[in-house]
Amino acid sequence: MRFMFVGDSMTIGRAGDYTWRYRMWQHLNATFGGPYRIVGPRCEVYDTFADAPVSHEYADPAFPGHARRHLAGWGEGWQHMAPVIGEVAAEHRPDVLLVSLGLIDLGFYTASDETAANARRFVAAAREARPGIRMVLLPVIPNVRAESDAPFAAECARFNELLAKAVADLTTDASPILLGARPEAYDIHHDTYDGTHPNASGEHRLAGEFAAVLHQAWGIGGPYTAQA
């Protein structure tokens, strides 16, 4: 089985991070019980000094190169991924997409309706390339901006409603889509280092949510247990 992580800055991570992708790799190693691959066209983390995704400095240097693969970008959202997912899926042949997108769109690029339309475009393009592909989509977790910006908070809430509708409309037996939830007890003041990006506890909570959905819905892997 081939997994691909798709996301924005919360997924690519910055130099010195473990990333929730690393936590998910640990989980799959411990519970999958068979061969699997992590695929994608990128492997870097974001370098804040270079202002570019050019670093390979993960917190654990033993994180193997083959497991670092992803399709994530600092400052990239649904509008960036929808045009490229078809080509990437055709080349790297993922069976399961684990997707965390939307916050950057709503914060800088598109309102909730257009963001949801881009999510639907993403699904269609992924399926055109891989008709049997499965997807787990995480809703937007509002960041610290939402605490003082009521219109932004409302857009986050509306997008999550539209995303849930898109999942209900688009899921099929041949290519099922599951909607995750905000990870239980996720607190942006304790699970992020800046009100947006996950710290170690946040990484575990994000990985744990994806792991729970995979296990409960499709019997993939097992219950999530945080590795050291």
Q: What is the pLDDT along the chain (228 residues), one digit of tens a residue?
A: 999 999 999 999 999 999 999 999 999 999 998 999 999 999 999 999 999 999 999 999 999 999 999 999 999 999 999 999 999 999 999 999 999 999 999 999 999 999 999 999 999 999 999 999 999 999 999 999 999 999 999 999 999 999 999 999 999 999 999 999 999 899 999 999 999 999 999 999 999 999 999 999 999 999 999 886
- Say what the pLDDT of residue 228 is: 65
Q: What are phi and psi for residue 178, nearest 5 degrees?
A: -115, 145
Q: What is the pTM of this model?
A: 0.97
Domain spans, the chain: 2-218
CATH 3.40.50.1110 fits 2-218, yes or no: yes
- Say what the pLDDT of residue 17 is: 98
Rg of the chain over Cα atoms, rounded to whole angstroms, equals: 16
CB neighbourhood size of 227 (10 A): 13
